[in-house]
Amino acid sequence: MDFHMPLYRPPSFADEKFISAPDVKTARCATDGVLPDNYHSTSIYPEYFKVNGEWKLAEESRMDCSVILRGSGVLDVVEMRNVKAGDSVILGRDEDCGDGIYLNANGFIDEADTNGGQFVFRQKRSRETAFSCDYDRLYALLEYEKAHGNIVWVMGPAFAFDHDARKAMQLLTENGYVNGLLAGNALAVHDLEAGYLRTALGQDIYTQRSVPNGHYNHLDTINAVRRSGSIASFIQENNITSGIIYSLSRQGIPFVLTGSIRDDGPLPEVCPNAYDGQDAMRRVIRKATTVICLATQLHTIAAGNMAPCFRVVNGAVRPLYIYSIDISEFATNKLADRGSLTAIGMVTNVQDFIVNVAKGVGVMK
């Protein structure tokens, strides 16, 4: 299947409502982290703001943020906690030009659609949904993104418990289908445990047989990494030659590990502060043109809420694709329910999914 990129239709700024619309109004923040009344909050859609008679797109938009108008006319989208006293915040709740703000919710048109319909991602999915076409479209998308985009994976620890899933992800990484990874302490711990001791939580990653005293294995792995001082040093010192984290480290691909209240250890690279972790995740997400979320509900929701439905690449507006993969229908549909309308859900075992993907793009037999 060939990949077809939906076209973006910008607003017609020659229409009277755009011409007669006022410039945006702003107000200064009086206190760090506190917005002025009637502040404008951003969405996942492309949003335009009229500044000195010119309509400008907020290119780095995302959900539930504010827009600061910098002195040079630059639109800077920031979280509430990151606004500073003196920042000039755009005001207004009318998103149809009345406040100099326009939200373009119907911008993407798929001309390959025989009905000429609006391009939409969101669909409610269930275990009875047919996913064959979704797989074929995903293979084509990944081939396109490998050459032209940025693919970020958001992963739960389930991958680290299976030999073939770890191998599939390693091959995808080594062959250019991974540009970033977002995960928690557990994914990295059990993946490194698998490379170090061939177990995950004390069970052999292929046979699933429990080894004697295996419940110590993940703690021994954490302790060994902490003794080495970093994941990279641990990999080198212990001759680790397989796995997800190994391949990311070897290829120099960024990964962000964010902490939770239940973490063991954690590993030295884990962000212990939730807001530091959020900032680190945003730095990776803001480059993404496709995000694939697998068996991690909270990380999936977080990543989805950080991502708009579009990206500006070389001056052109294009869709940002989000996939949510889980064995639970609730998990795959939750992202859409939280407002990430561009999410495509696939209900399946993520270990089987990643092996299918590796085979579908030709990196695994």
Domain 132-360: CATH class, spelled out: alpha beta
Q: Considering only CA atoms, which of 209, 219, 144, 166 is closest in space to residue 355? A: 166
Residue 341 has pLDDT above 80, yes or no: no
Rounded-to-integer distance, Cα 227 and Cα 215, Å: 19
Rounded-to-integer distance, Cα 175 and Cα 353, Å: 18
- Per-residue confidence (pLDDT) for residue 81, from 0 to 100: 96
Confidence category of residue 292, pLDDT binned at 50, 70, 90: very high
What angle do the packed helices 329-337 and 297-306 form, to 10 degrees?
Answer: 20
Residue 107 has pLDDT above 60, yes or no: yes
Task: Outline where DSSP puts E strands in the chain.
Answer: 7-8, 25-28, 47-51, 54-57, 66-69, 75-78, 88-91, 101-103, 108-109, 151-155, 180-184, 199-200, 203-204, 255-258, 290-294, 310-313, 316-319, 321-326, 343-347
Least-confidence region, from 18-32, 78-92, 210-224, 338-352: 338-352
DSSP-derived pairing of the beta strands 66-69 and 75-78: antiparallel
Q: Considering only CA atoms, which of 305, 323, 336 is closest in space to residue 62? A: 305
Q: What's the count of helices (H) and strands (E) in the chain, helices before strands?
A: 11, 19
- Per-residue confidence (pLDDT) for residue 118, from 0 to 100: 54
DSSP-derived pairing of the beta strands 290-294 and 321-326: parallel
CB 315 within 8 A of CB 8: no
Q: Is the peptide bond before 319 cis (omega within 30 degrees of 0)?
A: no
Query: Residue 326 forms beta bridges with which residues?
Result: 347
What is the number of other CB atoms lying within 10 angstroms of the CB of residue 228? 16
Q: Region 219-235: what's the mean pLDDT? A: 98
Confidence category of residue 115, pLDDT binned at 50, 70, 90: very low
What angle do the packed helices 185-197 and 163-174 form, to 10 degrees?
Answer: 100
Confidence category of residue 331, pLDDT binned at 50, 70, 90: confident
Q: Region 97-112: what's the mean pLDDT? A: 88
- Per-residue confidence (pLDDT) for residue 112, from 0 to 100: 58
CB 187 within 8 A of CB 160: yes
Residue 332 has pLDDT above 90, yes or no: no
- Per-residue confidence (pLDDT) for residue 114, from 0 to 100: 44
Supply the DSSP symbol for 31. B
pLDDT: is 42 or 116 the higher one?
A: 42
Rounded-to-integer distance, Cα 35 and Cα 89, Å: 8
Give the containing element (helix H, strand E) for 120: none
Quick check: helix, strand or coil at residue 326? strand
CB 183 within 8 A of CB 299: yes
CATH 3.40.50.10690 domain locations along the chain: 132-360
Rounded-to-integer distance, Cα 205 and Cα 166, Å: 9
Please enumerate in sequence order all residues whose Cβ is within 8 A of that of 104, keeping only pairs 6 or more positions apart, or say none: 10, 11, 45, 46, 47, 48
DSSP-derived pairing of the beta strands 199-200 and 180-184: unpaired
Strand order in the sheet with 88-91: 25-28, 88-91, 66-69, 75-78
Percent of the chain's residues with pLDDT above 90: 82
Least-confidence region, from 91-105, 240-254, 321-335: 321-335
Confidence category of residue 120, pLDDT binned at 50, 70, 90: low
- Per-residue confidence (pLDDT) for residue 1, from 0 to 100: 81
275: amino acid identity, one letter: Y
Alpha carbon distances (Å) from 37 to 16, 33, 62, 96, 270: 29, 13, 20, 20, 37
Strand order in the sheet with 151-155: 255-258, 180-184, 151-155, 290-294, 321-326, 343-347
- Per-residue confidence (pLDDT) for residue 167, from 0 to 100: 97
Residue 116 has pLDDT above 50, yes or no: no
Domain 7-103: CATH class, spelled out: mainly beta
What is the number of other CB atoms lying within 10 angstroms of the CB of residue 107? 20
CATH 2.40.420.10 domain locations along the chain: 7-103
Residue 98 has pLDDT above 50, yes or no: yes
Q: Region 135-155: what's the mean pLDDT? A: 97
Please provide the average confidence, as pLDDT, over all residues in the chain: 93
Residue 109 has pLDDT above 60, yes or no: yes
